[in-house]
């Protein structure tokens, strides 16, 4: 069945669905913040069952005990996110003529449902221990859960941006160099967030308790090594790589004659987020992993990926829209 058989479908700007998608994208960061706070205070196992919490949608103590409040709020916000994503996909399937965008919305639904199941397995399988890596099966799923959250955020941002008036009505003649730099930086930021997820769920946030040096004596390399020290040091090394890569990406945008004011401003925001993220990372060490600092670090990390992806997605606008229409 083709788009011509659906007269209600159009690729024109649709304010209602565009705003709904934008609000859905914003809600992702509420979900990320609650998840980060839950992990930061060690409340991921505040309830030992799933999908209910102590067998209830309104468990006793969740409004008065901080660990239960964090975990149950995260679960409730995830339910809202799932409903929003399903409604958005159904809405787009009814009114959107661009087949690739409808399929992307269906992918978002599959992703959010997978994310829910992975979150549930994190709880249900936490009692199983993996001796090889000295962690639980549940924590392995927690690492996957954190990575899928970033992928889901990028997917919703892609949908929301593709529904904006600017995307639909304006061409974006951005050079190939900017597009390549953006793809590289997206991959590097995602890789860094994956390392961070492993580090957080391996209790390695303070495996190297000094910053910027790796030893109290000022050494560049840690004095002793194990898995936790190695994954923490890898996170620091990737931070150096990303600092260079993101500034390089921003410079490419600033120098591109086809870059709009929004892209140039976005590049400036990206560099600012990078600087803020480095400061938060240092403050986590100096504050001995204060929950507020750790949560903020995760949230700014997600915002850094979102901004990098947003800039890259905008730079690919003409490439994406040149894709032949499909049924």
* Residue 302 included in any domain: yes
- Provide the domain limits for residue 282: 171-327
* Residue 311 included in any domain: yes
Q: Which of 154, 169, 184 is the last residue of a domain?
A: 169
Residues 101-131: tens digit of each pLDDT? 999 999 999 999 999 999 999 999 999 988 7
Total domains present in the chain: 2
The domain that holds 285 is classified in CATH as 1.20.120
Q: Which of 119, 137, 169 is the last residue of a domain?
A: 169
One domain, residues 178 and 143: no
Q: In the chain, which residue ranges form alpha helices assigned H by DSSP?
A: 15-40, 66-95, 99-124, 137-162, 165-169, 176-201, 227-255, 261-286, 291-315, 317-321
Residue 326 confidence class, pLDDT cut points 50, 70, 90: very low
Q: What pLDDT score does 323 carry?
A: 61
pTM: 0.92
Retrieve residue 77's tokens: 């916000």
Residues 301-318: tens digit of each pLDDT? 999 999 999 999 999 998
One domain, residues 306 and 206: yes
Residues 146-166: tens digit of each pLDDT? 999 999 999 999 999 999 999
Q: Which of 137, 169, 201 is the last residue of a domain?
A: 169
Retrieve residue 281's tokens: 């990372």
Q: Count the Cβ atoms, other than its own, within 10 Å of residue 78.
A: 19
* Residue 6 included in any domain: no
């Amino acid at each position: 069945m083709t788009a011509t058989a659906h007269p209600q479908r159009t690729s024109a700007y649709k304010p209602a669905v565009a705003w709904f998608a934008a609000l859905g994208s914003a809600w992702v960061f509420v979900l990320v913040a609650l998840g980060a706070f839950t992990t930061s205070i060690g409340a991921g196992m505040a309830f030992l069952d799933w999908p209910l919490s102590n067998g209830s949608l309104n468990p006793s103590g969740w409004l008065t005990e901080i660990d239960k409040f964090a975990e149950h709020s995260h679960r409730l916000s995830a339910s809202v996110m799932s409903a929003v994503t399903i409604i958005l996909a159904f809405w787009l399937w009814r009114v959107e003529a661009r087949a690739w965008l409808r399929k992307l919305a269906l992918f978002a639904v599959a992703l959010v449902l997978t994310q829910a199941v992975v979150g549930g397995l994190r709880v249900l399988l936490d009692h199983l221990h993996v001796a090889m890596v000295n962690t639980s099966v549940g924590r392995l799923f927690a690492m996957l859960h954190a990575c899928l959250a970033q992928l889901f955020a990028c997917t919703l941002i892609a949908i929301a941006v593709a529904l904006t008036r600017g995307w639909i009505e304006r061409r974006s003649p951005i050079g190939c160099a900017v597009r390549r730099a953006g793809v590289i930086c997206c991959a590097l930021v995602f890789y860094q967030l994956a390392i961070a997820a492993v580090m957080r769920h391996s209790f390695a946030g303070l495996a190297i308790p000094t910053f910027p040096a790796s030893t109290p004596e000022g050494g560049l390399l840690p004095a002793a090594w194990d898995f936790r020290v190695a994954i923490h040091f890898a996170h620091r090394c990737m931070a150096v790589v990303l600092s260079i890569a993101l500034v390089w990406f921003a410079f490419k945008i600033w120098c591109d004659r086809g870059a709009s004011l929004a892209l140039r401003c976005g590049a400036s925001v990206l560099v600012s987020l990078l600087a803020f993220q480095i400061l938060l990372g240092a403050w986590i060490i100096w504050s001995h992993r204060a929950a507020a600092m750790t949560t903020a670090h995760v949230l700014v990390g997600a915002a850094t990926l979102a901004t990098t992806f947003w800039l890259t997605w905008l730079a690919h606008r003409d490439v994406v829209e040149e894709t032949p229409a499909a049924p």
